[in-house]
Structure formats: structure tokens, C-alpha cells
Structure 1
Amino acid sequence: MAGHSHWANIAAKKSVVDKKRGKLFAKLSRKIIVAARQGGGDPVMNLALRYAIDKARKASMPNDNIERAVKKGTGDLDGENYEEVIYEGYGPDGVAVMCEILTDKRNRTAAEIRKIFENHNGNLGSTNCVAYMFERKGLCIIPEEQTSEEALFEIVLEAGADDVKHEGDAFEVTCPPEAFADVTTALEEHNLTPSYSEVTQIAQNTVELDADAGRRVLKFIDDLEDNDDVQNVIANFNMPDELMEEVAEG
């Protein structure tokens, strides 16, 4: 399985963990606030807001919370002024990492993220130190029991997707960010439900990890995700499926 599939699966699992910690809704609210502030409160006209709301609904975030976040973003309710920042660097075992941040106190967040990198023998780098290793893409992962590769390819190709791959027990659909809305709409119209769908950063090359290294990297990522200001973490690692299961269970 490709590295970004691994990462998508981890992200899905971590959403459950974050929800138990009571942090997921707060992070989703920030995303909605920023999207509404930048593009207005109408998700039909503001795709970033639509994606943020869709993600919140998939996480079972109450509609009242969503509406409150939109109103904070449009200025109808008082709310914090969050700034979008991306921090980049190298984690344990040479893994390149990008952290998508929403913060109202940039200096504080920078110090906290730098400390996490240092605690895991990593290095927080300068802007674009690892960004060139990633490409921004829409990614949807469809469980293989829902469709065939041929049928899926026909559906998403017409909607603007650029590739379909059969990886493990699922199909990966990638597309340019601007085609993401059309691709997800086409999937919905054919009653296909992605286990993961998001515009994200996909690694062009991956670092192969064994189980020990995988544990180190996942602990590092866990500490990053535990920070309230971290919205998303992307890393360019890969490991065999059996090791992935071992690490996930261990």
C-alpha cells in the first residue's frame, strides 16, 4: 500500500482518538471559521467552507456547532482570529513532515511545535524545506467491495480525476484540487462512499520504515496531533501492510 494510503488510514483512526479527547470538534470549528472568514458563509459559493463542513458532518459534529463556527467566521458572532501556517521539517528516521496549523498565537505555536520536533530527534526547518517533496491533490479512498476498478475509473475520469490505483483492499482516486468537488459529487451520485476524502499533500517519494521506526514516527505524529493548533500532519513514510497492522495494534 502506498504511503499516502497508510497516512489516510492513520488520519481516519486518529480522528476517532481526537474525538475521544474532545479535540476534534474544536479543530473542525477552527477550519470552518477560517474558511468562512476568507470566502464567505455560503458553502455553495465557498468550496473551502463546503469541504470543512462536509468533514465536520462526517465526524458527527452537531449542526449547532457548525452554524456557530460559520457565524464566527462571517463576523455575526465574536470569534478568535486564526492564522494559517505550515511548519515543515524532518522527524525521526528522516521522515519529511508538514504540519498544517491554525493558531491565534503564532509565536507560542512555533515554540511548541519546535519542542515536539526536538523531543523526537527531529528538526523543524524553514519554509519550503520539504514542501517540494509533496504535491497538493484531491484524494478519495473507496473500499474495493463497493465497485470495480473499471467502473470507478469511468466514473471519476469524466469528473476530472487523473488516476485510480488499486492499493490493498481499496481504490485510490487522485485528482487536481480544482476537480475535487466534481469527483466527490460523481462518487455520491453513484452511491460510492469514500473511507477518506480530502484535498491533501501527497508525497512524491517515501521513506521505507520497519516496525521500530514506524513506532517512533507514529509517536512523534501523535504528539504533534495532540497540539490544539495542529489541524493536519502529512509525512512521507511507507511500511509493509503487516508492519502497519502490528504498529497500529501495538
Structure 2
Amino acid sequence: NAEAEWVANRINYLLGKSYEENDSAIGTRGLCASDFAVLMASTNTYERDGTYRHSAFTNALDALGIPCAIEAQASIFVYDLGNCLRETFELLRNPTLDRARLVQYFNSSIRSSFPNANLREVTLVLADWQRLIHQPISAGRRKIAPQQLLYDLLTAFHVKDTNFNEVEMQILGVFSKIMEDVESVYFSVDTTERFQEVLNYLNVMAEEGYEIGPDEIIQRPDAVFVSTIHKAKGLEFPVVFLVDVEQNR
């Protein structure tokens, strides 16, 4: 997307450039990422290729290593990080783990969201959980908690060795909260049917029910703010780009 690349390049050029604050006590300072806003009519609607409308702009910023935060309140699955966690859970939907699909997904998505992830460790975690979830129950119930699956995956992703920004850390926290809520309903996900119900919850109810909270906007992390024009009402930024302005949008 030429417009998205142009905006990202302009932001990259302007970062660090002198800016005169209205507050005389502050004076002149350099522009930082949180001084920029990219505003459009809609962020969460889909383009014809199936991507979110904001994706061209956030991807262009990511390509230049410029952090960005999407809206004041956005589903965590709007972000690649949240979607990657959900899709990794999806790899366990069926009783047989598709190793070729796992390797492909690791290379195309997991590695970009979790750069320190280890393929061998991820494979071992998923193989172990595939057995725990889908093997026949011999006697009694087993306590198999989806929160533990998340912990095991984050260990294999080497999250502790990765420098995530504030927004990404918040996404990980919200996904953990989803798992807590699931465990309040399900004693265990020790059958195929129960685990598939959890996956269906992630794909339907959790899509709109868990968001990056309004405190994100108050705290204003050092990231470019990508938002709808409506949700940016009342906020002030030194540099604003109005984008995706097309007829009938």
C-alpha cells in the first residue's frame, strides 16, 4: 500500500525532529512515536483480501521498527500477537497434530510475533497437549487447565527473553485473563469436545469481549496511535495523518 508506506516513511523521518511545546516550561523537544496519530474512518472492517483496514499502516510501521497502538479500545485479536496465540491454540483442535501445518505456521506467524520462539520446544508442547486433550479418559477426570497450555507455549516462545512493548505486554495479560475466565466455567479441557468449545469461545465471544482498556490511552505508551477519527476525539497530537480517504469508505 503506497499510502501506508509513505505515512510510515514520513513518521520515520520526523522522529527526533524538533518540536516546540505550547508549554513554555518544556520548550523544544524531539518528536517521539507517541506524538503521531494515524486516523481513519474505520480500523476493524475488512479489506477484500481479508486483512483489517488498519493492517497496511501498522505493517508498514512494524517494518520500520516503529511501535504502534491500535485504538483506545480494540480487540486483542486485532493485533498479530493476540491472533497468533489464538491460532496456535487452533492447531490443537483436531485429534491429530498436523506437523507440516505447524512448521508452516511457525515460520509464517509465530516467529514474527515471538522472535525467540524455538520450533522444537513448541512442537514438544503441542504434541504433549494434543495427547492430554484428545486421548481417551481411562478412569476419572483429569485437571487439564488451558492457562497451563498458555504458560507452556509462552515458555517455548521464550517470552522472558523478548523485549515486548507496553501494548504487547497488555495483550499477553488480557489473553491470560481469557484463560482464567474459561477455567471458571470448565473444570478441565480433558476431552476433544470441551477443548473445541474453548476454541469456539476464542473465535466468537472473546473476539469482541476482551479489549485493550481505556487506560492505554491515558498512559499513552510511546507508540504511534492508530485509531478511528471518532475514538481520537478530545486527544491532541503534534502530528496527525488522516488516511484511507476514499469515496464511499
Q: TM-score range by the shorter chain?
A: under 0.3
Larger radius of gyration: 2
Higher strand share: 1
